[in-house]
Structure 1
Amino acid sequence: MLNIIFCVFVIVVILQLVYYLGIFGKFSFAKPQTITPKRLSVSIIVCAKNDAEKVKELIPVLLSQNYPDFELVLIDNASSDETLDIFEEFEKQHRNIRLVKVENNEAFWGNKKYALTLGIKAASKDYLVFTDADCYPTSPDWITNMTSQFTLNKTIILGYSAYEKQAKSFLNKIIRYDAVLRATQQFAWAKIGRPFTGNGRNLAYKKDEFFKRNGYINHMNILTGEDALFINDAAGKKNTAICYTPESFTYGKAKKTFKSWAKEKRKAAFTASFFKPFDRFQLKLFTLLQAAFFILMIMLLVLQFNWMFLVPVIVVRYIAGWITMAQSAARLHEKDAVYWYPVMEIIIIFTQLYVYVANLTSKPVHWK
């Protein structure tokens, strides 16, 4: 019986090595990215709802972008605070701001996809770059770097959105490690021609891509995933590229409590349940393999399986995973997020288990 368990354990480890070295390695061990600036006409799209304090800080940062031809499309999604007033004040002062005022209606009450659709239709430029009210680009060359990856064929660009570091916060390291893991999955699958998701906090695509697929029509009734589900629907091997130069990153504040972070994870898991079948399969398989590795390893250790066979398998697996994730973290300027890699893995697995059980009993609360 022990030999059978060990054989299953070896198969699990081999499959994990395929993920870490064969798939994730496509991004983790890729060469540093270079850019060739392009002079494309760009609309920056920002959709906000009751984010007065955040947009007050964000808009000056976006307006200071070192780019020759861009407009800023500000979408107020029926805010009840001072967001619209702040937008109107900036609009008076800057000619390259286009304001879209969204009023609630019975069919699309508070629907962010509806608000974004109005904003995209109002945009006058051919290329769209998206970010959210709760994050910001750290470089004045953010647009330059994101648009540098556009070509005649590559009309969807996936960017990286990081979280600010918080001193003496272990939860912050967990959240940032989780962001590195998700970005590694996202970028690696895109590099091998199977892009499956994007992050609306840092995303770009040609406006034609939106209208070719009738916008969000395939998932308009799902009140989340305006970024992930659209990319899952629209992205493919031929039309998608990634951008991971440091100047292309955006940053936001990480959640301060495990409860609020878990809520965010629940939304992401709920959204992923509507992905294409293969994408759902590969994500679930990776999580299942992670859990199986720890369960089988503990079983074999407790049952005192021959350590001369067991230990080398465990060591090889940890070396492969740690090196792969360390390379990815270094590329994304998150080196300290993988110092506690084995502990991070266990925490992420238990968090995923909690998310799965929680989503079985109730749907997560959607975008405000």
Structure 2
Amino acid sequence: MTLPSILFYILIGVVSIQVAYYLSFLFSFAIKRAETRLKKNIPISIIICAKNEAENLKNNLPLILNQEYSNFEIVLVNDSSSDNTLKIMKEFEAKHNNITVVDVKTNETFWGNKKYALTLGIKASKYDFLVFTDADCIPNSNKWLAHISGNFSNQKSIVLGYGAYSKKRFSFLNKLIRFETVLTALQYFSYSNLGMPYMGVGRNMAYRKELFFNNSGFNNHMSIKSGDDDLFINEVANKTNTSICFTSDSFTVSEPKASFKAWILQKRRHISTAKYYKLKHKFFLGLFYTSQLLFWILGIVLILLGYNWQWVLAVILLRFFVQLLCFGFTSKKLGEVDLIILSPILELFLITTQLSIFIANLISKPKHWK
């Protein structure tokens, strides 16, 4: 058997894994309808941890305050900012009796660790139901809080939401960031939908304070600078206590990074936490990424070699059809339809970028959250 024929059979195996993954893991969410559950009577504490976010707070806090919800407070956590963040927070606190400011001073033990600041914010909150977002995020509607809180119940103590990024015309980086965001959401929503929740995003998620303290908060991974959202959820979420919320009114929207360098640094922090996930999650996520990488390598090599190009092309097109079907349904659901036609190109760029980030993280580790 020749080397090209061996590579072709490996390609068939890789595509089989990809197709099985998309149809079994991801398609269940892609075709799932969003359910609207509104509650306005559960007291909610919104936690916003900010570091050097004066302008974002000034612009975005009014939209949080404008939520159509009967009983909520906002806990603003100033994480040792060097700009006017604390001043802006104090100004809002003076005007609104449902705002509490927590000023976190520099701590050598927990320097650069958002988890420490968040823990102090959670301790300062009055209510048991906590909703988390970031200072650079705005709610997609004035019913954001009602949609998120509506997914809490006696059994559900975690709610995973979608944190979108705003669209920028004529920007390939913007499309790449949004593509990665949709693909990540497709995975964590799908896993949760199948009873295997493994992460959430701090831009839009919620859980009960009781759950936080009963599981010792961030203590088990406090030494890891990132992971206040995904590592905590990976540790405590299960098939019975986790709900997903993806109605368009429940989204938050934030400004994406404006340069490749800034985005790469952000992704380095995020990817560095994946090795601390539970073994089953690492296996399935690793298998998906490895099969993606091998699909592109083997497909390109076999096309260049001209080996049975009709069959190679047929296998490649089958995989793209299944991928586009699944990603297309999800993109429409999450309001990212413009990404569908570019998804193969964006996927190739994302895979190569993730590979370079993985190699960079082996050499050095990100030091702090901001």
TM-score with structure 1 setting the length = 0.97
| Structure 1 contact 46–130 (Cα < 8 Å) conserved | yes
Matches of 1:246 and 1:268, distance apart in 2: 25
**Is 1:306 aligned to 2:308, yes or no?**
yes
Matches of 1:138 and 1:30, distance apart in 2: 21
Deviation for aligned residue 1:36: 3.9
DSSP-derived class of the 2:45 partner: strand
Q: How does 1:334-353 map to 2 (within 5 A)?
A: 334-353=336-355
Matches of 2:99 and 2:344, distance apart in 1: 47
Q: Deviations over 1:179-229 (max 9, x none)?
A: 100110110011011111110010101111101111000001111111111
Matches of 2:69 and 2:76, distance apart in 1: 18
What's 1:102 paired with? 104
What's 2:244 paired with? 242
**Is 1:12 aligned to 2:14, yes or no?**
yes
Matches of 2:327 and 2:52, distance apart in 1: 37
Report which stretch shifted further, 211-220 or 81-90. Answer: 81-90
What's 1:122 paired with? 124
Q: How does 1:1-368 map to 2 (within 5 A)?
A: 1=2, 2-368=4-370
Matches of 1:190 and 1:92, distance apart in 2: 40
| Structure 2 contact 40–71 (Cα < 8 Å) conserved | no
Matches of 2:38 and 2:145, distance apart in 1: 12
Matches of 1:228 and 1:301, distance apart in 2: 39
Q: Deviations over 1:101-129 (max 9, x none)?
A: 21223322342111111111111111000
DSSP-derived class of the 2:133 partner: strand
Matches of 1:329 and 1:73, distance apart in 2: 33
Q: 1:84 to 1:36 in 2, by over 3 A?
A: closer
| Structure 2 contact 328–337 (Cα < 8 Å) conserved | yes
Matches of 2:193 and 2:317, distance apart in 1: 28
DSSP-derived class of the 1:157 partner: strand
Matches of 2:112 and 2:18, distance apart in 1: 41
DSSP-derived class of the 2:103 partner: strand
Matches of 2:22 and 2:243, distance apart in 1: 21
Report runs of 4+ in structure 1 exceeding 6 Å deviation.
Answer: none
DSSP-derived class of the 1:211 partner: helix
Matches of 1:177 and 1:105, distance apart in 2: 37
Deviation for aligned residue 1:38: 4.9
How many residue pairs match? The answer is 368
Deviation for aligned residue 1:341: 1.4
Q: Which runs of 5+ in 1 are unaligned?
A: none
Matches of 2:15 and 2:150, distance apart in 1: 38
Matches of 1:74 and 1:256, distance apart in 2: 26
| Structure 1 contact 78–110 (Cα < 8 Å) conserved | no
| Structure 2 contact 199–231 (Cα < 8 Å) conserved | yes
Q: Which runs of 5+ in 2 are unaligned?
A: none
DSSP-derived class of the 1:81 partner: coil
Q: 1:294 to 1:39 in 2, by over 3 A?
A: same
User: What's the C-alpha RMSD, in Å, of the aligned pairs?
Assistant: 1.3
Q: Deviations over 1:312-346 (max 9, x none)?
A: 21111110001110111100000002221111111
Matches of 1:302 and 1:81, distance apart in 2: 54
Q: Deviations over 1:78-135 (max 9, x none)?
A: 2222111111111111111112121223322342111111111111111000001111
Matches of 1:267 and 1:330, distance apart in 2: 29
Q: 1:6 to 1:110 in 2, by over 3 A?
A: closer
The residue type equivalent to 1:31 in the other structure is R
Matches of 1:335 and 1:17, distance apart in 2: 22
Q: Deviations over 1:283-313 (max 9, x none)?
A: 2211110110111112222232223432221
| Structure 2 contact 80–103 (Cα < 8 Å) conserved | yes
Matches of 1:308 and 1:351, distance apart in 2: 30
Q: Deviations over 1:57-80 (max 9, x none)?
A: 121111111100101111111222
The residue type equivalent to 1:84 in the other structure is L
Report which stretch shifted further, 30-39 or 145-154. Answer: 30-39
Deviation for aligned residue 1:234: 1.0
DSSP-derived class of the 1:124 partner: coil
Q: Deviations over 1:163-190 (max 9, x none)?
A: 1000111111111111100110110011
Matches of 1:307 and 1:176, distance apart in 2: 33
DSSP-derived class of the 2:231 partner: helix
Q: Deviations over 1:137-164 (max 9, x none)?
A: 1211010000111111111000000110
TM-score with structure 2 setting the length = 0.97
